[in-house]
Structure 1
Amino acid sequence: MTDRLVMSIDASNALGAFLRDRRVKLDPVAFGFKVGRRRTPGLRREEVAQRSNISPTWYTWLEQGRGGAPSADVLDRIATGLMLTEPEREHLFILGLGRPPEARYRRADEVTPRLQRVLDAMPNSPAIIKTATWDVVAWNKAAAVVLTDYSKLAREQRNILRIMFSNARVRAAQEDWRSVARFVVAAFRADAARAGAGAEIAHLVDELSRISPEFEALWRDNDVAGQSEGLKRIRHPELGLIELEFSNFAVDGRPELGLLVYNPASAETAERIKALVAASTP
């Protein structure tokens, strides 16, 4: 009877069940709490409330499914108090408010070796990993020889917009630079807004507006665009005119990152890229 009652409570109060499950899996010692004699494992409700800077009564009510829907601020505090991962935090908001939390930008400066191996597994397809503010944080050999050798740029210069509007070689490589530039600015605006990175891009926007009247005009237009896939034509100094089909992918578990892959649009282009990559490899 008791087990059936608990299952019924959990089914009707998914938020409380999730909070309770996260709470009992935490080690009190790791948080500086005395263990003493405890009837149940994990943190006590009042300890979670203390870490979350909310009322113990209010937290208890949340676990018990009482007191109405919590605010986003309360959920954010509890997520911090329970040290939830980003997927767990998102799940908490969906259970508590029926929606994911609002976007909050997280800076990313590097990728895991596993992600780098994903890039390297595409030897003839230029591929990069970029942040929501379009800083390039990883690339493969094909990207270095076909697009830009990012290793030769200072870290702060590895930004797609900065390269697009301040690098004469990259500009000359675009078959229709104005159309490409308009699309890039519109897609960048959408990405940055989606990630909640308005404050983080302010300096870059100011800088590019000063050095490029074209960027300033495009930014004032307030266009937004999606960039899931498309065709890119590049005039490469060694390969000549090539066509690449590009596709964007989300990086699971790393919402601040995106994978951009350029696949050769023809077998001939693939062979030319393959030969160039081989020739540039020591």
Structure 2
Amino acid sequence: MPQSTPRAKELGELLRSRRERLQPADVGLPTGARRRTRGLRREEVAQLAAISSTYYAYLEQGRDIRPSRQVLDSLSAALRLDAAERSHIHELIHGAPPAEKPAAAESLAPAVVALVDRLDPCPAYVTGRCWDVLAANRAARTLWTDWPTRAPDARNLLWWMFTDPGARQVMVDWPAEASALLGRFRSAAARHPGDPDFSTLLERLRAASPEVRAWWPQHRVVPLGSGTKRLRHPVLGILELEHVVLQLADDPEQKLVTFNAAAEDQARISRLMRMSPADADHVA
């Protein structure tokens, strides 16, 4: 029987601790009857990682076996390890972190950018998989924030919502809107377990926002959907906008969100778009 080594023992302890901190609902499993095991069962982790229960038990026991990088990646996804933890278990077993695939910058097809611009004066924007704002027309920039003038790592709808005081002025129903946005982010993050972009953004949000720290453990999940938003503009006052969310066929993680107001409010938005900044201050 393979004996334990310090590195194998450390891997086993890490796997066990991460298994015990997860609940079935965290990984999409039914809760079922009252559970005696804290966290997930070993066989549940094995099922999620597509390995045998016996093999996983050996790993937790710290036996001196050498799982492949593929198995370690499967375990990282099953146990929701972050990028640092994933790298650490690879170093424990293989002496070096896994080769990282360079993260491809999200790009938007020029035709989509042109479509967003043509929708003026109806506000419209496109967000990427982590809610980075990839395009926004003039109406959206006027009613929300001027995305191109923000620092590159601040051109993100979640970051704006939770860290920019202006968001609480713009969004009339800020608590409900912010909570729902975080729920949609959780739903998307579940589709990308182990993705460092999601974990990095989440850690930034946790560090910056007491609401994220309080709400994230509640595990609220919200699907994408159309609806109504109320915005406050310093000149136009409170606007009620109906919105539709469309997922792009070439990349379903990219969402085109379009807004429409009542005829009178839409006419006022149109006039605002046609005016110079100085004249716009006097629109009624």
Structure-2-length-normalised TM-score: 0.58
Corresponding position of 1:94 = none
- Partner of 2:252, secondary structure, is coil
The 2-side partners of 1:115 and 1:256 are apart by 14
Counting only pairs closer than 5 Å after superposition, residues 186-201 of structure 1 correspond to structure 2 as: 186-196=183-193, 198-201=195-198
The 1-side partners of 2:136 and 2:264 are apart by 23
The 2-side partners of 1:197 and 1:138 are apart by 27
Corresponding position of 1:239 = 236
Corresponding position of 2:266 = 270
Counting only pairs closer than 5 Å after superposition, residues 65-80 of structure 1 correspond to structure 2 as: none
How much does 1:120 deviate? 1.4
Counting only pairs closer than 5 Å after superposition, residues 197-208 of structure 1 correspond to structure 2 as: 198-208=195-205
How much does 1:197 deviate? 6.6
Runs of 4+ in 1 over 6 A off after TM superposition: none
* Count, aligned residues: 179
Aligned Cα RMSD in Å?
Answer: 2.3
The 1-side partners of 2:224 and 2:104 are apart by 21
CA distance 1:170–1:221, change in 2 (3 Å): same
Unpaired segments ≥5 residues, structure 2: 1-69, 71-102, 279-284
Unpaired segments ≥5 residues, structure 1: 1-72, 74-105
Q: Deviations over 1:176-215 (max 9, x none)?
A: 2111111110011112323557432111111111121111
CA contact (8 A) 1:173 1:236 kept: yes
- Larger Rg belongs to: 1
How much does 1:166 deviate? 0.9
The 1-side partners of 2:260 and 2:268 are apart by 13
The 1-side partners of 2:123 and 2:166 are apart by 18
How much does 1:280 deviate? 4.4
Q: Deviations over 1:209-246 (max 9, x none)?
A: 11211111111111001122010001111110001111
Counting only pairs closer than 5 Å after superposition, residues 132-211 of structure 1 correspond to structure 2 as: 132-196=129-193, 198-211=195-208
CA contact (8 A) 2:154 2:160 kept: yes
Structure-1-length-normalised TM-score: 0.59
Corresponding position of 1:112 = 109
The 1-side partners of 2:122 and 2:194 are apart by 29
